[in-house]
Amino acid sequence: MGTLSHAAIAPRLAALHHHRASHGLSHPSSPSLRLPASNGVAKKSRVPFAQSKSHNQDIDFSDPDWKSKFQRDFERRFNIPHITDVFPESVPIPSTFCLRMRTPVIEDFAGGYPSDEEWHGYINNNDRVLLKTIYYSSPTSAGAECIDPNCTWVEQWVHRAGPREKIYFKPEEVKAAIVTCGGLCPGLNDVIRQIVITLEIYGVKKIVGIPYGYRGFSDKELAEMPLSRKVVQNVHLSGGSLLGVSRGGPSVSEMVDSLEERGINMLFVLGGNGTHAGADAIHNECRKRRLRVAVVGVPKTIDNDILLMDKTFGFDTAVEEAQRAISSAYIEAHSAYHGVGIVKLMGRSSGFIAMHASLSSGQIDICLIPEVPFQMHGPHGILHHLKYLIQTKGSAVVCVAEGAGQNLLQKTNATDASGNVVFGDIGVHIQQETKKYFKEAGVPVDVKYIDPTYMIRACRANASDGILCAVLGQNAVHGAFAGYSGITVGTCNTHYVYLPIPEVISHPRLIDPNSRMWHRCLTSTGQPDFV
Q: Which helix (DSSP H) or strand (DSSP E) does residue 129 occupy?
A: strand 128-130
Q: What is the CATH number of the domain that holds 387?
A: 3.40.50.460
**pLDDT at residue 231 in the model:** 97
- Mean pLDDT computed over every residue of the chain: 87
Say if residue 109 is exposed, middle or buried (CB neighbours under 10 Å; 0-12, 13-18, 19+). Answer: middle
**pLDDT at residue 103 in the model:** 54
Residues 349 and 405 in one domain: yes
Residues 455 and 466 in one domain: no
Close Cβ partners of 360 (under 8 Å, ≥ 6 residues apart) = 319, 323
Q: What is the CATH number of the domain that holds 206?
A: 3.40.50.450
Residue 301 labeled ligand binder? yes
DSSP letter string, 87-108: -TT---EE-S-BTTB-S-SSGG
Is 504 part of any domain? no
Residues 221 and 319 in one domain: no
pLDDT bin (cut points 50, 70, 90) of residue 188 is very high
Whole-structure pTM value = 0.86
Residue 116 confidence (pLDDT) above 60? no
Residue 1 labeled ligand binder? no
User: Which domain, by its residues, includes 186?
Assistant: 71-111+161-310+461-492
Task: Decide the pairing of beta strands 495-500 and 93-94.
Answer: unpaired
Residue type, 309: M
Is 502 part of any domain? no
Q: Which helix (DSSP H) or strand (DSSP E) does residue 164 occupy?
A: none
Residue 313 confidence (pLDDT) above 60? yes
- Decide: 473 and 198 in contact? Cβ < 8 Å: yes
Residues 232 and 360 in one domain: no
Residue 165 labeled ligand binder? no
**pLDDT at residue 7 in the model:** 38
pLDDT tens string 8-19 = 444 444 444 433
Is 143 part of any domain? no
Q: How many CB atoms lie within 10 A of CB 49?
A: 19
Is 129 part of any domain? no
Q: How many CB atoms lie within 10 A of CB 33?
A: 21
Residues 218 and 271 in one domain: yes
Residues 299 and 263 in one domain: yes
Residues 326 and 303 in one domain: no
**pLDDT at residue 328 in the model:** 97
Share of the chain above pLDDT 90, in %: 77
Residues 99 and 184 in one domain: yes
Is 168 part of any domain? yes
Cα distances from 394 to residues 340, 437, 450, 491, in angstroms, run 9, 16, 20, 43
Residues 214 and 320 in one domain: no
Total domains in the fold of the chain:
2
Q: Distance between alpha carbon 219 and the CA centroid of its chain, in Å?
A: 27
Is 239 part of any domain? yes
Cα distances from 270 to residues 241, 278, 369, in angstroms, run 10, 11, 26
Of 73, 303, 465, 512, the active-site residue reads: 303
Is 150 part of any domain? no
Q: Which helix (DSSP H) or strand (DSSP E) does residue 518 occupy?
A: helix 516-525
Q: Quick one: average pLDDT of 348-363?
A: 96
Residue 57 confidence (pLDDT) above 60? no
pLDDT tens string 378-410 = 999 999 999 999 999 999 999 999 999 999 998
Is 1 part of any domain? no
Distance CA 392, CA 388 (A): 6
Distance CA 490, CA 299 (A): 7
Q: Quick one: average pLDDT of 175-180?
A: 98
Distance CA 62, CA 453 (A): 51
Residue 183 labeled ligand binder? yes
Close Cβ partners of 524 (under 8 Å, ≥ 6 residues apart) = 358, 359, 362, 364
**pLDDT at residue 40 in the model:** 30
Is 303 a known active-site residue?
Answer: yes
Residue type, 64: P
Residue 456 labeled ligand binder? yes
Distance CA 354, CA 429 (A): 17
Residues 295 and 366 in one domain: no
| C-alpha dihedral, 20 to 22 to 27 to 28, nearest 10° | -50
Residues 359 and 436 in one domain: yes
Residues 325 and 288 in one domain: no
Distance CA 102, CA 99 (A): 5
- Decide: 479 and 296 in contact? Cβ < 8 Å: yes
Q: Which helix (DSSP H) or strand (DSSP E) does residue 309 occupy?
A: none
Residue 209 labeled ligand binder? no
Considering Cα of 204, then 209, then 210, then 213, what sign does the dihedral take?
A: positive
